[in-house]
Structure 1
Amino acid sequence: MPSFLPQRLTPDEMKADTSTTFNICIVEDDPWYGQLLQYQLSLNPDYEVSLYNSGKEFFDAVRKQPDVVTIDYSLPDIDGEKLLQKLRELYPELPVIVISAQNKIATAVELLKLGATDYLVKDEYTKQLLWNAVQRIRENAGLRQKVQRLEKQLADKYNFTTLLKGNSPAMQATFALMERAAQTPVNVSINGETGTGKELVAKAIHMNSERQKGPFVALNMAAIPAELVESELFGHEKGAFTGAHSRKIGKFEEAHNGTLFLDEIGELPLSIQAKLLRVLQERELQRVGGSEKIRLNVRLVTATHKNLAEEVKKGTFREDLYYRVIGLPIVLPSLRERSTDIILLAKHFLDEFCRDYRKASITLAPAAHDKLLRYDYPGNVRELKTAIELAAVLSDGQQVQPADIVFAPSARQEGLFGEEKTLREHTRTIVRHYLDKYQNNVPLVAQRLDIGRSTIYKMIQDGEL
């Protein structure tokens, strides 16, 4: 290898020009022919074309990666094959066009194998062929940059801390679990109240995992009639049952090589739970009415607002299936458990609304902060977002005032106050609700309700709970 060839360049030295100029280097020992090619390419005002008479001159002058290089196969100081190999070593992605007086097919094939982008023979058509080749390379580079931008935007969109806003300790712990879930292939179960963002979490885990290029398929079990669940999950063959006029691909097959998200899995009928268990164990299925065994490569993410362990005790959820789907459990905190995030989220939703609807910036008045912090949020983040969007619509000025913030009555509130009860009866209802929520953890319930443990123990002893 000639001694003038440089060592591998540093990342800064290899950094491509970020301007719109397309940098082309021509390495050609025939001055007249090199100037002819330079003039031809310079007809495009976006092209910056540099001419070098030898490999040494090129390597001495060029300190950053050009967009494309053309090389003469027969240079005085280095042959085309060695020069191409060195360019491939220094700039693995650099397009290189070899221009040669040789029209030997074997030479062209060998150079293309070594990584040349194109091989042109010197004749009366070379100028036009070179023009076309450079144009194709530039178009492909533009497409690659566009794909890279889109991939970055997608990665940013599904970044955990971008997708789910929150600085509270509860959310930081959730982010850590999501990161772990994205890095491992095990099944994931997400538990949380309605409105906490279970599907967002499932999709974020998928988009940050090695399956991100595969499909993400979501299915809410609570929204499907019991008689159609099996067909939705596993598909069916034509004629499998009345109304099956054609073959249907189920959600498991749709999610092959990707992720299947089953929301509200606690609503899955017992009769289907056994079939789901078999599919998860054997990693294959048979469509309803079919005999063909279809192999699957699917990661399962499930979610529910129910306590599946309690459902197992009640006999409404199979214990063997429970241990199959539980995998890595993530419990999403309610908004009540992350109150320090309420104002952060409210400001985020307000900015998002103004941006989407091209409205002037709106802020929250201090008194509006107080109103937001005093509310209980039975609908969690979803309810907060709805309230903020409505407040932005109702606001007359540049600030959201307390009067602009309206919370719709929730089903939980109506259930609590929908009938007249004594204070003692309301107390029993509230304490029982929290005992169910926290798996009969009396110390935790006492802390949440700010009452003495002895009060709860006495209510249990007296048979009131």
Structure 2
Amino acid sequence: MLDFKIFIVEDDKWYGGLLHHYLGQNPDYEVTLIESGKECLAQINRKPDLVTIDFGLPDMNGEELFKKIRQAQPNLPVIIISAQEKITTAVDLLKMGVEDYLVKDENTQQLLWNAVIRLREKQSLRHEISELKAELKTKYDYSRSIIGNSPALQGIFKLIDKAAGSLINVSISGETGTGKELVAKAVHYNSNRSSQPFIAVNMAAIPKDLVESELFGYEKGAFTGAQTRKSGRFEEANGGTLFLDEIGEMDPNIQSKLLRVLQEKELTRLGGVSKIKLDFRLVVATHKNMAEEVKKGNFREDLYYRIVGLPLTLPPLRERKEDILLLTQHFLTGYSKENGIHEIKLSPAAREKLLSYDYPGNIRELKSVVELAAVMSENNLIEPDDITFLSGNTNDVNAVLNAELTLREYTRLIIRNYLKRYDDNVLLVAEKLDIGKSTIYKMLQTGEIEGA
């Protein structure tokens, strides 16, 4: 089936036939030669993908025909082909929205061929972008991205719907590993800001002396090492959503500056004087009880009431055990696809073992347990002995050591465990493990390990 319709509007039969023959060499093009503007308008309901117009038609000039085509089909691309070389005419037509303006000479055929190729590439790119946007919405469709049928999760879905339908700030609370960032993305990608940026910042993963420049950006020369101007995360999120994870770790000085940004809807970069207007939707997350943090004096009360907006409390996995096997199947399917192997199954006894555990690390821990079990399994079937729980059991620790991981993999496993144990307190974990805090910060920032 021909997939690209081209109308050539040309009253010179010989020249029109030349263009018709030239473009018709591509079997994907359905080329129709039309001799007048009126005939072109009469056939416009055939919905061509491109119209080329001779500027000097006998019944109307190219500009008149272009305007009438634009009224009938506003997005239909038009190329003007003219014997005159007036630059002002070409510029005026291009400003009006003509796709291209070609002068009749010995190069016209090749230039037209190239123009059609460029146009099809542009259309293909627009189609790909449209598909990607549709994929994003599908990717964060609740039934596909947040796995589970438990009543507790269904209640969260209803709140996500309410949040996505408004611009209210959203505060997400829940234990480590319950999927707070995934919920934040679901809110964003199901809102009317879905085509705009989603900028995520983990407050626990940024050294305190870098937080201000990271959020607010800076001007060239603002401090030693500031060689160029840099936009901050607030600016990057303009028009979209800013997700501040582990908001409870925010320094009091930055808390006051965040409050000012939320109140004034503007900021000034470090070292700058100009006010930059902002429009972003704020979503925050924490594993802490923020009301208690306010009582303890660790978090500003006025900021707390600014950010709390619509609160969503994610249930721990132990309170939605009916979702464990659904999540397990989801992780096994993903693991099998990523590794190009047949899908791995669970034996009945393995299912019982997975259901018997409370998962203090929640969904993130379950994912680690399932993927390690997949590695240890034989013949694409996971048995109970393949399942190693990673929290607090000496026998399980020995099993992990026997898994023959690389040193880097063991390092990631140990640091991730310590971060869970000490609520993502990087300084304390660095002290406990006797390693540099920059090592942990770098692994968090690159995604090699994940915080809460």
**Normalising by the residue count of structure 2, what TM-score does the alignment of the two structures yield?**
0.74
For the residues of structure 2 that align with 1:345 and 1:188, how far apart are their CA atoms?
Answer: 25
Aligned to 2:339: 357
Aligned to 1:346: 328
Q: Which structure's CA Rg is the greater one? A: 1
**Contiguous gaps of at least 5 residues in structure 2:** 397-452
Shift of 1:355: 0.3
Aligned residue among 366, 369, 374 for 2:356: 374
Shift of 1:211: 4.3
Aligned residue among 295, 298, 308 for 2:276: 295
- Letter of the 1:49 partner, please give it: V
Q: 1:350 to 1:55 in 2, by over 3 A?
A: same
1:44 is paired with a residue of what secondary structure? Answer: coil
For the residues of structure 1 that align with 2:334 and 2:45, how far apart are their CA atoms?
Answer: 44
Tell me if the contact between 1:191 and 1:331 (Cα under 8 Å) persists in the aligned partners. yes
Shift of 1:322: 1.0
Aligned residue among 126, 134, 149 for 1:167: 149
- Letter of the 2:79 partner, please give it: I
For the residues of structure 1 that align with 2:264 and 2:305, how far apart are their CA atoms?
Answer: 15
Shift of 1:407: 1.5
For the residues of structure 2 that align with 1:107 and 1:217, how far apart are their CA atoms?
Answer: 45
**Contiguous gaps of at least 5 residues in structure 1:** 1-18, 415-465
Residues 1:143 and 2:147 aligned together: no
- Work out the number of aligned pairs and report it: 391
Q: Deviations over 1:405-448 (max 9, x none)?
A: 2221259xx9xxxxxxxxxxxxxxxxxxxxxxxxxxxxxxxxxx
Aligned to 2:226: 246
Tell me if the contact between 2:2 and 2:29 (Cα under 8 Å) persists in the aligned partners. no
Tell me if the contact between 1:88 and 1:115 (Cα under 8 Å) persists in the aligned partners. no
Tell me if the contact between 1:235 and 1:287 (Cα under 8 Å) persists in the aligned partners. yes
Cα RMSD for the two superposed structures: 3.4
1:389 is paired with a residue of what secondary structure? Answer: helix
Aligned to 1:186: 168
For the residues of structure 2 that align with 1:199 and 1:189, how far apart are their CA atoms?
Answer: 11
- Letter of the 1:385 partner, please give it: K
Q: Percent identity at matched positions?
A: 59
Tell me if the contact between 1:161 and 1:175 (Cα under 8 Å) persists in the aligned partners. no
> Which structure has more RCO (C-alpha within 8 Å, separation ≥ 6)?
2
- Letter of the 1:295 partner, please give it: I
For the residues of structure 2 that align with 1:196 and 1:362, how far apart are their CA atoms?
Answer: 24
Aligned residue among 195, 198, 202 for 1:220: 202
Tell me if the contact between 1:284 and 1:293 (Cα under 8 Å) persists in the aligned partners. no
1:189 is paired with a residue of what secondary structure? Answer: strand
- Letter of the 1:246 partner, please give it: A
For the residues of structure 1 that align with 2:332 and 2:324, how far apart are their CA atoms?
Answer: 12
- Letter of the 2:273 partner, please give it: E
Aligned to 1:156: 138
Q: Deviations over 1:151-174 (max 9, x none)?
A: 333333333433222233332332
Aligned to 2:48: 66
Aligned to 2:245: 263
**Normalising by the residue count of structure 1, what TM-score does the alignment of the two structures yield?**
0.72
Shift of 1:267: 2.5
1:94 is paired with a residue of what secondary structure? Answer: coil
For the residues of structure 2 that align with 1:278 and 1:204, how far apart are their CA atoms?
Answer: 27
For the residues of structure 2 that align with 1:166 and 1:408, how far apart are their CA atoms?
Answer: 23
Tell me if the contact between 1:84 and 1:114 (Cα under 8 Å) persists in the aligned partners. no
